[in-house]
A and B are shown apart, each in its own frame.
Chain A
Amino acid sequence: MDTIMLSRIQFASTTIFHYFFVPVSIGLALLIAIMETMYVRKGDEEYKRMAQFWGKLFLINFAVGVVTGILQEFQFGMNWSDYSRFVGDVFGAPLAVEALLAFFLESTFIGLWIFGWDKVSKKVHLLSIWMVAFGTMMSAFWILTANSFMQHPVGFTINNGRAEMNDIFALITNGQLLVEFPHTVLAAYATGAFLVTGISAYKLLKKQEVSFFKKSFQIAAIVGIISSVGVAVAGHAQAQYLVETQPMKMAASEGLWGESGDPAPWTVWANIDPTNKTNSGEFKIPYLLSFLSYSKFSGEVKGMNQLQAEYEQQYGPGDYIPPVRTTFWSFRIMVAAGTAMIVLGLYAIYLIWRKKMDRPNTWFMRFMFWGLLLPPIANTAGWVMTEFGRQPWTVFGLMQTKDSVSPNITSGQVLFSVISFTTIYLILGLVLVGLFIKVIKKGPYAMDNDHSDSHDPYNKEGSHAFS
Chain B
Amino acid sequence: MLSLNELWFVLIAVLFIGFFFLEGFDFGVGMETQLLAKNDTERRVLINSIGPFWDANEVWLLTGAGAMFAAFPNWYATLFSGFYIPFVFALLALIARGVAFEFRGKRDSLAWKRTWDVCIFLGSFLPPFLLAVVFASFIKGLPIDANMQMYAGFTDIVNIYTVVAGITVVLLCLVHGLMFTTLRTIGDLQVRARKLGQKLLIPLGVLLLGFVVMTYFMTDIFEKRGTVLLSIVILGIIAYVLAGYFMLKKKDSWAFGMTGAVFALSVASIFVGLFPRVMISSIDQAFNLTITNAASGHYSLKVMTIVALTLLPFVLGYQIWSYFIFHKRVHEKEHLEY
**A85 part of interface (Cβ distance < 8 Å):** yes
**A1 part of interface (Cβ distance < 8 Å):** no
Chain B binder among A26-34, A72-80, A210-218, A281-289:
A72-80
Whether B87 lies near A92 (C-beta < 8 A) is: no
Compute how far the CA of A462 lies from the CA of B327 in the bound complex, rounded to whole angstroms.
Answer: 10
Compute how far the CA of A109 lies from the CA of B55 in the bound complex, rounded to whole angstroms.
Answer: 10
Whether B326 lies near A119 (C-beta < 8 A) is: yes
Task: Write the nearest CB–CB distance from B310 to chain A, whole angstroms.
Answer: 10
Compute how far the CA of A79 lies from the CA of B253 in the bound complex, rounded to whole angstroms.
Answer: 43
Whether B106 lies near A93 (C-beta < 8 A) is: no
Interface residues of B in 98-115 (CB under 8 A from A): 98-99, 101-103, 105-108
Q: Is the interface of A mostly helix, strand, loop or mixed?
A: helix
Task: Write the nearest CB–CB distance from B190 to chain A, whole angstroms.
Answer: 10
> Which residue on B lies nearest to A75, using beta carbons?
B80
Compute how far the CA of A449 lies from the CA of B66 in the bound complex, rounded to whole angstroms.
Answer: 35
Chain B residues in 8 Å Cβ range of A420: 88, 92
Interface residues of B in 165-191 (CB under 8 A from A): 183-184, 186
Contact of B315 among A93, A104, A457 (CB under 8 A): A104
Interface residues of A in 12-68 (CB under 8 A from B): 59-60, 63-64, 66-68
Chain A binder among B68-76, B156-164, B214-222:
B68-76
Whether A462 lies near B51 (C-beta < 8 A) is: no
A458-B334, A465-B183, A465-B329 are known contacts. Are A114 and B51 too (CB-CB below 8 A)? yes
Chain A binder among B223-231, B264-272, B273-281, B317-325:
B317-325
Interface size on B, residues (CB 8 A): 81
User: 1/0 per position for A223-254, CB-CB distance to B under 8 A?
Assistant: 00000000000000000000000000000000
Whether B91 lies near A77 (C-beta < 8 A) is: no
**A350 part of interface (Cβ distance < 8 Å):** no
Chain B residues in 8 Å Cβ range of A409: 81, 84
Whether A59 lies near B322 (C-beta < 8 A) is: no
> Which residue on A lies nearest to B318, using beta carbons?
A108
Chain B residues in 8 Å Cβ range of A66: 55, 98
Contact of A92 among B70, B80, B312 (CB under 8 A): B70
**A184 part of interface (Cβ distance < 8 Å):** no
Chain A residues in 8 Å Cβ range of B84: 78, 406, 409, 413-414, 417
Q: Is the interface of B mostly helix, strand, loop or mixed?
A: helix
Chain B residues in 8 Å Cβ range of A59: 102
Whether B53 lies near A114 (C-beta < 8 A) is: no
**B243 part of interface (Cβ distance < 8 Å):** no
Whether A64 lies near B186 (C-beta < 8 A) is: no
Whether B335 lies near A458 (C-beta < 8 A) is: yes
A67-B94, A101-B311 are known contacts. Are A465 and B106 too (CB-CB below 8 A)? no
> Which residue on A lies nearest to B306, using beta carbons?
A168
Whether B73 lies near A88 (C-beta < 8 A) is: yes
A70-B94, A99-B62, A408-B82 are known contacts. Are A159 and B296 too (CB-CB below 8 A)? no
Whether A96 lies near B77 (C-beta < 8 A) is: no
Chain B residues in 8 Å Cβ range of A74: 65, 80, 87, 91
16 A-B residue pairs with CB within 8 Å: A71-B91, A77-B79, A77-B80, A81-B80, A81-B81, A84-B69, A88-B69, A88-B296, A93-B304, A115-B326, A119-B325, A119-B326, A431-B99, A453-B335, A464-B328, A465-B329
The 10 A-B residue pairs with the shortest CB-CB distance, nearest first, are A88-B73, A77-B80, A92-B70, A457-B335, A92-B69, A111-B52, A450-B108, A81-B77, A96-B66, A81-B81
B residues near A (Cβ < 8 Å) are 44, 48, 51-53, 55-56, 58-59, 62-63, 65-74, 76-82, 84-85, 87-88, 91-92, 94-96, 98-99, 101-103, 105-108, 148-151, 183-184, 186, 252-253, 296-297, 299-300, 303-304, 307-308, 311-312, 315, 318-319, 322, 325-329, 331, 333-338
